[in-house]
Structure 1
Amino acid sequence: MSFTVARRVAAVLSLAVLLSSHVAHAGDVTFQIKNDHPNAMRLELYSQDRDYVWPGGGKDFYLDDGETKQLPISCNDGEKICYGAWVDGDESTYWGVGPNNKQTCEDCCYTCSGGETEEIDLQE
């Protein structure tokens, strides 16, 4: 291998290492949510590290009364994600960070690190 080719290969490899250290690595986590309330509810998942919401696009997840859902999302490894849920038609009855991520909570956030959450039981 000539010296010029070796230098080019080394430069390309160095650039690849440099770029990969600045790219956020995607992860996956599945939120397991149970609606144990007598009314249907709506739910969103909010990143606390960037301006992002799941499912996004002005939509939310819908859980009928008594329903349990698996909500798989793709997120950045290490990203803090909190759930916000509210009774369908009554945003004053909420769980977690509530609608639009406006409340505080103690145990409603999870770190994106793969796998799934324990079952999150939302009740009266």
Structure 2
Amino acid sequence: MSRMPARRLVASLLSLSAVCLLPSVIPAKASDVTFVIRNNHPNAVRVELYSQDRDHVWPGRGQDFYLDDGEAREMSLACEEGERICYGAWIDGDESTYWGVGPGNAESCADCCYVCEGGQTEEIVLEE
């Protein structure tokens, strides 16, 4: 039977203790949701989807979704299960006319947010 030197034993026990004391980190469960948006405004609109639970925007990287007048579009995104996501839409070239949380997630809204739990939203219609 081999004997572990005292220093090595103490170091091993301290390492094990440190690992046991760390809080458990459980990764967020991934999910998908599809926003269905129809532009019934006579002008083209731009749309972004904003997480309210973390610093994330879809489609991201300085881009947005573009919907011509009369166009309907499905916008699928991967999100974290239970995450609250709000849409912001505005007239192309006129950010003062908006729906939902508007450009940059700057406004508040009563009914423009959805919880990420799979599936798709009902059709969101943007009108004058």
TM range (shorter): 0.7 to 0.9
Match of 1:73? 77
Letter in 2 for 1:88: D
Match of 1:48? 52
Match of 2:118? 114
Partners of 1:34 and 1:24 in 2: CA distance: 31
Partners of 1:43 and 1:51 in 2: CA distance: 17
Matches within 5 A, 1:15-34: 22-34=26-38
Partners of 1:23 and 1:109 in 2: CA distance: 23
Partners of 1:122 and 1:82 in 2: CA distance: 14
Pick the structure with greater CA Rg.
Answer: 2
Partners of 1:70 and 1:43 in 2: CA distance: 12
Letter in 2 for 1:85: A
Partners of 2:50 and 2:81 in 1: CA distance: 15
Letter in 2 for 1:62: Y
TM-score (norm 2): 0.81
- 3-state DSSP class of the match of 1:69? strand
CA offset at residue 34 of structure 1?
0.2
Match of 1:95? 99
TM-score (norm 1): 0.84
RMSD between superposed Cα atoms in Å: 1.4
Runs of 4+ residues over 6 Å off in structure 1: none
Partners of 1:74 and 1:84 in 2: CA distance: 18
Q: How many residues align?
A: 107
